[in-house]
Amino acid sequence: MLSKDKHLVVNAKDTGLDKLSIHIGYVKNRTNFMKAHQHDGFVEFCYIVKGELTHYINGDVINIKGPSLIFVNDGDIHHLESSSGVTMYLVMVHCDAYKEMWDYLQKDMDSELNQDKRTVSDIRLTSSQVQLLNSGFNNYFGAEECGKGLEGMSSKSLLTQLAVLHQIGGVNNLDGRSSIKRMEDAPEWFIALCHKTTEDQLFINGGVEGLVIESGKSNAYLGKCFRQYRDETPSAFINNLRLNYAKDLLLYSDTPVIEVCMESGFGNLSHFYHLFKNYYHTSPSKFRLLNRKDYMI
């Protein structure tokens, strides 16, 4: 580490990163952080699971409350402060590896994603985005315990999710709708319904009709609760769970795409392709190829 005026310069080599690696860590109730420093040769994502902190970056001061996503680019000067402690995941990746991923995405994806397009450093996450990231990190640490190289595929998938979320934004980009109620404000029956639907995989065959039956509520009232507490419709909730299930089948099995479609609860292949591409910004087959491409270990 080098000293430059009033801040440190942290080189990728100081972190042990090379262009074929990605570092993923987890800290709980942390209050002490590195003092002001500048990234040199790597980018960093901080997924704030819970807690509050102040982010000082390039002269700006931003108060952040979890769940949020922080992006720190190569060359940024920043540091974090928290008096109450925060729980978060840290993801560091070498600039060469990050650029290679973006080159691949821009070549094979129809959307106009641009590595340098977004300059915002912090993103307030929606409920569905939190669910997506939690699943990604759980998959990574689960694969790491299993070994057999599975963590490599999971890290690629996770990095892709983080990068795309940084592009599309969160609550910050929802036309000013920043006062969405959170799941912790929801009634117990609603929280239990969402948990049961997820854990017992009721989403595969039940669909929205299954949610209505399981809840004992009217379709209209259930829809109101989903919009109020999860910022999504019941249909979107079911589809997101099915898509996440399909994603796991694509990553960890050789199941043909048409069978992935059916096993995930989608009865129509065309509809499955359409939803998958909207959610992951690429087709199921390209997603599988992307996350098995050995640009990183």
Could you tell me the CATH number of the domain that includes residue 33? 2.60.120.280
Q: Kindly report, residue by residue over 262-271, the tens digit of the pLDDT.
A: 999 998 899 8
164 shares its domain with 194? no
Whether 178 maps to a domain, the answer reads: no
* 52 φ, ψ (degrees, to nearest 5): -130, 145
Q: Domain containing 190 — which CATH number?
A: 1.10.10.60
248 shares its domain with 158? no
pLDDT band at 280 (very low <50, low <70, confident <90, very high): confident
152 shares its domain with 198? no
Q: Kindly report, residue by residue over 28-76, the tens digit of the pLDDT.
A: 888 888 888 888 888 899 999 989 888 888 777 788 888 888 888 888 8
112 shares its domain with 152? yes
Segment 8-31 shows an average pLDDT of 78
19 shares its domain with 141? yes
Give residues with Cβ within 8 angstroms of 262, minimum separation 6. none
The rounded mean pLDDT for the chain is 78
Domain extent at residue 198: 183-230+232-291
| pLDDT score recorded for residue 147 | 53
| 7-11 sheet: strands from edge to edge | 2-4, 7-11, 37-40, 77-81, 52-57, 60-65
160 shares its domain with 194? no
Whether 48 maps to a domain, the answer reads: yes
38 shares its domain with 56? yes
| pLDDT score recorded for residue 284 | 92
- SS3 assignment, position 123: strand
20 shares its domain with 165? yes
165 shares its domain with 203? no
Q: Which helix (H) or strand (E) holds 224?
A: helix 219-230
pLDDT band at 204 (very low <50, low <70, confident <90, very high): confident
Decide if 67 contacts 261 (C-beta within 8 A): no
Domains identified in the chain, total number: 2
Q: Which structure tokens are listed for 36?
A: 């002001």
89 shares its domain with 166? yes
